[in-house]
A = this chain, B = another copy of it.
Amino acid sequence: MHQTFEAGLGINLLHANQAGADHNRAHFDEWGITCLNIMSSPGAGKTVLLEKTIAALNDELKIAVIEGDMTTELDAERLRQYGVPVIAINTGRSCHLDSKMVAGGIHQLEGQYEPKEFDLVLVENVGNLVCPAEFEVGEHFKVALLSVTEGEDKPLKYPIMFQEADCLLITKIDLAPYLDIDIDRIAGNVRQMNPHVAIAPVSAKTGEGLDIWFDWVRQVVNRQQRSLALASVSK
């Protein structure tokens, strides 16, 4: 549960959340980990994307998952089958992960593993196109998914998510032939408000476009590790 923004309260909460997110990010930086915050509406395909990503990249990158859900460990259980550590966080009545919840996940990871061994932490947020975009959890990059079944107008109607995203995956493109939808128009609507976002239309079912996404992940992990190496040399 959550409230509307009033009486300065919202601002204080966002400040406190931001401080916690910066703290989490400092941990990730210390360990040489790149963290991605994966966000979308319910059912846009976050979990299947993580399944495909882990299967494709697990040989070259050491991956862990922090899995946010209101209730159940259904998604966490799906991902554990791929042999990676999955820390499940149940948010209860909360409609998004916040930095405090993810800090709890990080401490669990730290208690059970050597965090410096990991290259990539994938945070799967609660399915919600609104609230997660406002609560940083310590990620280096935000990844938004929008299913073609959700319609062309969604970037205009839910702008914050699409303004904040570093990467947008337009998912379930195998269903596009059965819909009255123009993928280029979706991409255009998003670029209008966020010119630098990386956009890849993908289908987890057919595999189309996934290579572009995997390359984007490789690149950001690489770039992040190089910049951390430079920062430690310059100390």
Contacts and interface: CB of A to CB of B under 8 A. Distances in A.
A36 interface: no
B157 A70 contact: yes
Interface in A20-76: 41-43, 69-72, 74-75
A224 interface: no
B43 A134 contact: no
Given A43-B151, A128-B129, A156 B74 contact: yes
A-side interface mostly:
loop
A194 interface: no
A69 B154 CA distance: 11
Contacts of A178: 174-175, 178
A10 interface: yes
A224 to B, nearest CB: 28
A98 interface: yes
A126 B161 CA distance: 14
B127 A70 contact: no
B3 A157 contact: no
Interface of A: 1-5, 9-10, 13-14, 41-43, 69-72, 74-75, 91-96, 98, 126-131, 134, 147, 149-151, 153-154, 156-160, 172, 174-175, 178-179
13 contacts: A1-B10, A1-B14, A2-B131, A3-B3, A3-B10, A4-B91, A42-B157, A43-B149, A43-B154, A74-B156, A74-B157, A127-B158, A131-B131
